[in-house]
Amino acid sequence: MRGNILRAAAGVFRDRGFADTGMREIAAAADLSTANLYYYFKSKADILYFCQEHSVGRMLETAGRLQRRRLTPAQRLRGVISAHLVCMLDELDGAAAHTEVDALPALLRKRIIAKRDRYERAVRRIVAEGIRRGDFRRTDPTLATRAILGALNWTTRWYRPGGKLEPKAVAEAFSDYLVGGLRT
Amino acid sequence: MRGNILRAAAGVFRDRGFADTGMREIAAAADLSTANLYYYFKSKADILYFCQEHSVGRMLETAGRLQRRRLTPAQRLRGVISAHLVCMLDELDGAAAHTEVDALPALLRKRIIAKRDRYERAVRRIVAEGIRRGDFRRTDPTLATRAILGALNWTTRWYRPGGKLEPKAVAEAFSDYLVGGLRT
DNA sequence: TCAGTTTTCGAACCATGGTTCGAAATCCGA
DNA sequence: TCGGATTTCGAACCATGGTTCGAAAACTGA
């Protein structure tokens, strides 16, 4: 049931935005009464928190899995980019994940940011490793990582599901561009 | 006076976000009474609109100026990236510009999006020209442009003014990476 | 000094929307 | 079938915050 609500909420957050989404809309999307939402979640922010928790968790997991496999930094980076995009564009959950962090109260925000930072570090590690091995050009790994994540996270602003553009196609093009740009 | 208010508002929007910023805060920042804001602006959304109008206008202007000068696509792209970042990180105005479009009512939103699209087309034209001349690798100009703009717009999420990192340094690194990644 | 216009503001208004309340409906093991 | 826990919900509560009102203060030219 909680998962059901989270999915519905993520969907509404995704196309209405967090601020403009009312509890009544979430309830309608989840086919529940408004009051009943409070049986499963403590507050509106709480719902957002678990959306983010879930999707960042999955991205982090994917990054870890790629790290464990025997791959080149370029291959790992492509994998991360692809997974990140699919998570944001295909499944609804990921959309609000990185987008609406400020809406959370201090404590929850702190937790999500900590987890999101772990993810960012994981990506940066791949970039740094690529530079160390000489596969990638020498640049500031932090800035390169942030450029990459910015390009990825911004996709929710313009991507419209159901259009002619498949998430896979975006992933392909972005990987070519963003990984290619690092190569020596 | 209007300019004064806009500057103050842009500053508060920038670090509190549009949704979490109250008219009372804007008034305090502009050193005016809350009611007095309504003598100069019709509504809160109106204030946001003029912030965006102003900064997108300046970006568009810069793009036009670069277009008129005799430069290579790579040089033009570097110029756009640099100007875009300075506008977003140095001056307060630009921060909320691309970030909070959804907060506007239909009519105003439509206008800003139209103008922002013109800017996006200007950037895309540079990319396409680079590809046509063989300076840039053959990729989808639309996706490449959106990757670039995403990386740029996302900077407001992590950049903290007053830190050790100068906007110029970010512009330098981003130009190297994002333009370099397009080169053949 | 004196109208008339511009600018300012304290206080109150009021819609929106997150949240709570109390009770009814449903489920489930005994 | 019975009783308790779980789940559901309509209705109302209430804080937040954008907005308006009416009048006072400041400015301007004569």
Point out the nucleotide closest to A37 (alpha carbon to C1′): D8
pLDDT of residue A184: 81
Measured from the Cβ of residue B19, the count of other Cβ atoms closer than 10 Å reads 16
Residue-level pLDDT at A79:
98
Q: Are A18 and A103 a contacting pair, CB within 8 Å? A: yes
Whether the CB-CB separation of B87 and B59 falls below 8 Å is answered with yes
**Cβ neighbour number for residue B114 with a 10 Å cutoff:** 9
Asked whether the CA dihedral A150, A153, A158, A159 is positive or negative, the reply is positive
Higher pLDDT pick, B135 / A1: B135
Q: What mean pLDDT is reported for chain A?
A: 93
The letter for the amino acid at B156 is: T
DSSP tag of B101? G
Strand C and A45 CB separated by under 7 Å: yes
Say what the pLDDT of residue B92 is.
64
Question: C-alpha angle with apex A33: A30 to A35, nearest 5 degrees?
Answer: 120
Q: Which two tokens stand for residue B50?
A: 């003029």
Q: Return all residues near B132 (Cβ < 8 A) that are at least 6 apart.
A: none
Backbone angles phi, psi at A38, to 5 degrees: -75, -5
Contacts of B136 (CB under 8 A, 6+ apart): B73, B74, B127, B130, B182, B183, B184
Chain B residues near residue A102 by CB distance under 8 angstroms = 17, 20
Q: How far apart are CA A120 and CA A152, in angstroms?
A: 12
Q: What is the pLDDT of residues A92-109, one digit of tens each?
A: 666 666 678 888 999 999
Report d(CA B107, CA B157) in Å as an integer: 27
CB B41 within 8 A of CB B23: no
Say which residue, A17 or B83, is predicted with more confidence: B83
Q: Which of A71-75, A92-96, B133-137, B176-180 has the lowest mean pLDDT?
A: A92-96
- Report the distance from CA of residue B32 to the C1' of nucleotide D28 in Å, as an integer: 22
Nucleotide D6 C1' to residue A38 CA (A): 14
Subset of residues 8-37 in chain A with CB less than 7 angstroms from any atom in strand C = 20-24, 34-35
Phi, psi of B90 (to 5 degrees): -80, -65
Give yes or no for CB of B35 within 7 Å of strand D. Answer: yes
Q: Distance (Å) from the C-alpha of residue B19 to the closest C-alpha of chain A?
A: 7
> A18-42 pLDDT, tens per residue?
888 999 999 999 999 999 999 999 9
% of chain B exceeding 70 in pLDDT: 96
Residues present in chain B in total: 184
Chain A residues closer than 8 Å to B137 by CB: 180
Nucleotides of C under 7 A from a protein CB: 7-12, 16-22
Q: Which of A20, A140, A174 sits opposite B147 (nearest CB)?
A: A174
Average model confidence (pLDDT) across chain B? 93
The pLDDT tens digits for B43-86 are 999 999 999 999 999 999 999 999 999 999 999 999 999 999 99
CA distances from A184 to A79, A136, A180, B84 (A): 20, 5, 9, 26
Which nucleotides of strand D come closer than 7 angstroms to any CB of the protein? Answer: 7-12, 16-22
In the stretch 26-65 of chain A, residues with CB closer than 8 A to chain B read none
Interface test with B, best of A15, A117, A124, A177 (most B CBs within 10 A): A177
When pLDDT is cut at 50, 70 and 90, the band that residue B17 belongs to is confident
**Where is average pLDDT lowest: A103-107, B12-16, B73-77, B154-158?**
B12-16
Q: Which of A97-111, A121-135, B102-116, B152-166 has the lowest mean pLDDT?
A: A97-111
Higher confidence at residue B178 or residue B162?
B178
At residue A47, the 3 state secondary structure works out as helix
Q: Which of these, B50, B45, B63, B49, lies nearest to B1 by C-alpha position?
A: B50
Q: What is the mean pLDDT of residues A154-181?
A: 93
> Which pLDDT value is given to residue A17?
85
How many angstroms away from the CA of B30 is the closest CA of chain A? Answer: 23
Q: Is the distance between the Cβ of A142 and the closest atom of strand D smaller than 7 Å?
A: no
pLDDT of residue B103: 87
Q: Collect all residues of chain B within an 8 Å Cβ-Cβ radius of residue A14.
A: none
Per the structure, the residue whose CA is closest to nucleotide D6 at C1' is A39
Cα B116 to the chain's mean position, in Å? 9
Determine whether the interchain pair A150/B150 forms a contact, defined as Cβ–Cβ distance below 8 Å: yes
Look up the pTM and report it: 0.93
Residue B183 has φ and ψ, to the nearest 5°, of -60, 150
Q: A150 vs B146: CB contact, 8 Å cut-off?
A: no
Nearest of B175, B177, B176, B182 to residue B143 by alpha carbon: B182
Nearest-angstrom CA–CA distance, B133 and B73: 9
**What is the structure's pLDDT at A118?**
97
User: Does strand D come within 7 Å of the CB of A35?
Assistant: yes
Asked if the C-beta of A148 comes within 8 angstroms of chain B's C-beta atoms, the answer is yes
